[in-house]
Amino acid sequence: DAGVIQSPRHEVTEMGQEVTLRCKPISGHDYLFWYRQTMMRGLELLIYFNNNVPIDDSGMPEDRFSAKMPNASFSTLKIQPSEPRDSAVYFCASSFRQGGQPQHFGDGTRLSIL
């Protein structure tokens, strides 16, 4: 079975540019999560969706960050404009239902903003 697929795996861009990260969840999973991982702050939940609807975006750091889920098999996380402090590894995860079903993670996008 295909796991959670994220693209690109690596992204290097200059500050001020728009960055778009993509995620394809596991088929049939109805929850999708975006996380950010840094050495300083560890793993942070940015936003999660249920049935394509954003449920909690309280972890989104600023208005420069936005996330969409136009359908059950695709989600994007955009940063515009990007800043060097946005450099991190961004993970997407999905799960089936809630109430304790484990989340399955993609391999992440390593983002470097110069």
Residues that bind other proteins (CB under 8 A): 4, 31, 33, 42-43, 45, 48, 55-56, 91, 93, 98-100, 102-108, 110
Kindly tell me which of 22 and 104 has the beta carbon lying closer to other proteins: 104
Min dist. Cβ of residue 50 to other proteins (A): 8
Residue closer to other proteins by CB (options 17, 51) is: 51
Rounded-to-integer distance, Cα 84 and Cα 107, Å: 22
Nearer CB in complex with other proteins: 18/65: 65
Rounded least distance, CB 94 to other proteins, Å? 12
Smallest gap from residue 81 Cβ to other proteins (A): 27
- CA distances to 4, 10, 69, 81, 107 from 40, in Å: 25, 20, 28, 22, 20
Instruction: Give CA angle at 79 (14, 108), nearest 5°.
Output: 90
